[in-house]
């Protein structure tokens, strides 16, 4: 993963209402959900929609990122901007939704980074290129990582079906 900038830093307990407010629940298509990502943070939402935040950028968060409602749109709206979320840990349902949609995410229990700093994921660590510090990643099980790497559950299943020998 290439070196990229931290574009937003959050603390603990960032709920799905902050990521994707419930009033937009009628919008479910992954091609449409990104427009509502962090919509109540007007400046961040504007930067996202204006494409001022490059793909591959990082959101850094504390623990329990994605708590609250089980809405899949919270994961798909972030994925729409190709942002990687690095958090100390993720809420259980958000974690599974993120895997299902193929959101790039990293569990890093000791992450320490500020907005504007440069991070890089390498050799099982998140390296803060600005501070020079390195933080160990808690890897996902191989099967879950394979789903993310395939782009989500549907592309993963499609690939498995196409690779299956004909009978």
Let me know if residue 12 belongs to a domain: yes
Q: Is residue 30 part of a domain?
A: yes
Which DSSP state fits 157? H
Q: What is the DSSP string of 1-23?
A: ---EEEEEE--S--BHHHHS-GG
Q: What is the pTM of this model?
A: 0.93
154 lies in some domain: no
Whether residue 156 is contained in a domain is answered as no
Task: Look at residue 121 and tell me if it is in a domain.
Answer: yes
Reported as a single tens digit per residue, the pLDDT across 77-101 is 999 999 999 999 999 999 999 999 9
Percent of the chain with pLDDT over 70: 99
What CATH number is associated with residue 49?
3.20.19.10
Q: Which domain holds residue 29?
A: 4-139
Looking at residue 1, its pLDDT comes to 65
pLDDT score recorded for residue 88: 98
């Amino acid at each position: 993963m290439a070196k990229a900038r931290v574009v937003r830093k959050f603390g603990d307990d960032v709920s799905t209402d902050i990521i994707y407010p419930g009033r937009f629940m009628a919008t479910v298509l992954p091609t449409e959900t990104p427009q509502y990502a962090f919509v109540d943070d007007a400046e961040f939402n504007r930067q996202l929609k204006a494409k001022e935040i490059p793909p591959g950028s990082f959101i850094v968060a504390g623990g329990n990122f994605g708590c609250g409602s089980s809405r899949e749109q919270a994961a798909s709206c972030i994925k729409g901007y190709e942002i990687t979320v690095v958090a100390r840990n993720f809420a259980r349902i958000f974690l599974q939704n993120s895997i299902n949609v193929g959101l790039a995410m990293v569990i890093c229990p000791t992450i320490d980074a500020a907005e504007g700093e440069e991070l890089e994921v390498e050799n099982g660590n998140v390296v803060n290129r600005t501070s020079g510090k390195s933080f160990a990643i808690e890897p996902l099980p191989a099967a879950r990582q394979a789903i993310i790497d395939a782009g989500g559950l549907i592309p993963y299943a499609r690939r498995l079906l196409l690779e299956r020998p004909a009978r």
